[in-house]
Structures are given as C-alpha cells and as structure tokens.
Amino acid sequence: MNTMRKTMPWLIRREVWENKGMLTWVPLAIAALMIVAVLGIAIGGQKATIQVDGVPTSVAGATVQLGERQIQTLAEAIAVMAPVSASVLYLAMAFMVFFYSLGSLYDERRDRSILFWKSLPVSDAATVLSKAAFALIGIPLLIIAVELVTSWVIIGIGMAGLAMKGTNIFPQVLAHPQFWLGPLKVLSLLPVYALWALPTVGWLLLVSAWARGKVFLWAVGVPLLALILLVWIEKGLQQSINTQWVIEKFISRLLVGVMPGTWLMATGVAGRAREMEVAAQGPAAGFDLIWRSSWASVATPEMILGALAGIAMIAGAIWLRRHREEG
C-alpha cells in the first residue's frame, strides 16, 4: 500500500505527459472558439436579443432599457448560468474520457511500451488504477477548471456589452450569492460523476486490456449486438422482454455513463421539478434542485450497483494486464 501511494503521483504524471496534447489543445481550442463567437456577437450582433420574463428584448439599438424587476431577474439568471455557460466543454470531456479509457491499456500493448513499464517496479494494479483515476478525476477536474474560466469570460463579455448599451448589471450579478456558490456546487459534483462513470470507464479499460485490435468495435459493438439480439427475441420470437429497461440499466451504463448529468435519469428530476413548480420559482431553484438530485442519485441502486460493476471490471483489467503474455 505504501509503495502504491508513492508511485501513484508519478503514474498520474505519466498520464499527463503522454496525453498532454489532448489535455491542452482540445479544451483550449473549444474555449477559444466559444469566446471568439461570443465576442463577435457582442461586437457585431445587431440582431441579438435577450429574453427576460418570457419577453424578448432586442439589443440592436443604441441603448437597452430594462425595468428594475427585469434587471433583477436577468441578474439572477446570469448568476445561475455563470458556472455552466460553456457547458459544451463537458460534452468534449465525455469524448475525452471515453477514448482515453478505451485506448489507455491497448495503446501500450500496440506500441510495446508495456514491456518497458513492466520492467519497472510498478505493479499492474497501480498502473491500471492510475489510468482509472486519471479518467474519472484528472480529466474532469481539468475540464471543470477550463469550463469555469471560459464561462466567466463569456458572462463578462455579455455583461460588458450590456453595460456599453446603458444597462449595467455587474453589481446585481456580483452581489448574487449563486454567482459565488455555483462554481463550488459544480466542483462538488466531481465525486458523483466519478461514481456514475465508473461502469463505463471500467468496461472500456477491460476491453482495452483484452482486445488485440479494433477496440472501438469490441467496446461498442458487443453491447449493441446484445441489444439487437434482445430486440429480435422480443419482436421476432414474441417473448416478454423489457428492452427499454435493459437499455437504461445496462447498455447506457456501459457506453454513455461518461456523459455528465446522465445520472439525473435515475432520480426522476424532471417529475420532481414539475411537482415543485420549479419553473415558477426561478432559475436558482432549478439549479439547486439539480444539485440536490445529483447527490441524491448516489444512494440509488443504479449508482451503487453500477459502481460495484465498474470496480469488478477494473479488477478484470488488472488481471488481464498482469497475466497476458506479450509476444
């Protein structure tokens, strides 16, 4: 255990060094494109509009006039949206985690660098666990940091554009508690993401450790083939199989668990939002409901059983890396 604790930071650094291009250029390129797009709209967007209380207001004129109540409503909406304004980056994160996990163990066998790493006094368990930790915590932590900075820049550009047209909402936004609490709440969801994505990352690492080639085909094709077989049994043989349940509980957990927010499907947050009439309470109530529902999903059977399955598949990946003969 002491040896693993000492080697783990170095193994994480190895993953950073080997994936420096993906970690640097993908998020920075997306963030730069988003900032440039928003800046272009702020400077030359003559047809741009903002919607407050369901009423669209054009920003094409020399000035933008809003009432006090509209300013407060707009400030609350901006404060709530501030930490997730660049959420496109989270979509990129899902692809980064997916393809990193899929190639991490296969690539070192393909380029035969595994022979070098196995000659070092580093256990297979430590190596595979470092890759799982990098996929579940390292990449998401980096993307959260880039996304928050990008969101603040985008929000700042938008508010500066409004201020130049005579509507300064900086004081109301900066004074809103949600503006400061929002980033902390987003960051606090990292453990929820790691637990939810565990079966997908475990499955991809298992395939990456086992397959001798065409890892994407194996990782995606096997679950889809199983799905096609179930549909054939249900429709062709007229057997009572709940295909939708299988897709939600198994297929999606193997393939799309790396997508942030998909855990909300297990909590029925949409139904609770309707019951609590969250839409009428404002965007802050909706954000809080999503945050509470995310943590509530940790205690659901889908989360617990999925995490256990993910741990089992990571254990399988460790066993395969340890016992597989490399020619």
DSSP result, 273-287: HHHTTHHHH-HHHHH
Mean pLDDT computed over 198-217: 94
Provide the pLDDT confidence category of residue 168 given band limits of 50, 70 and 90: confident
CA distance 250 to 309: 10
pLDDT in tens, 62-78: 566 667 777 888 888 88
pLDDT in tens, 10-69: 899 989 998 988 888 999 999 999 999 988 887 776 566 666 666 666 665 556 666 777
**237 — phi, psi (to 5°)?**
-100, 0
As given in the structure block, the two tokens for residue 216 are: 């994407």
Helix (H, G, I), strand (E, B), or coil: what is residue 52? strand
What's at 161, amino acid-wise?
G
What's at 70, amino acid-wise?
Q
CA distance 90 to 24: 15
Provide the pLDDT confidence category of residue 267 given band limits of 50, 70 and 90: low
* CB 306 within 8 Å of CB 313: no
Q: Which of 270, 75, 288 is nearest to 172 (CA)?
A: 75
Q: pTM higher than 0.85, yes or no?
A: yes
Provide the pLDDT confidence category of residue 327 given band limits of 50, 70 and 90: low
- pLDDT at site 64: 63
* CB 160 within 8 Å of CB 35: no
Provide the pLDDT confidence category of residue 208 given band limits of 50, 70 and 90: very high
Helix (H, G, I), strand (E, B), or coil: what is residue 19? coil
Mean pLDDT computed over 300-325: 92
35: Cβ–Cβ under 8 A, 6 or more apart, which residues? 150, 153, 154, 157
Between 278 and 214, whose confidence is greater? 214
Residue burial 170-206, b: 16+ Cβ < 10 Å; e: rest: eebbeebebbebbbebbeebeebbbbbbbbbbbbbbb
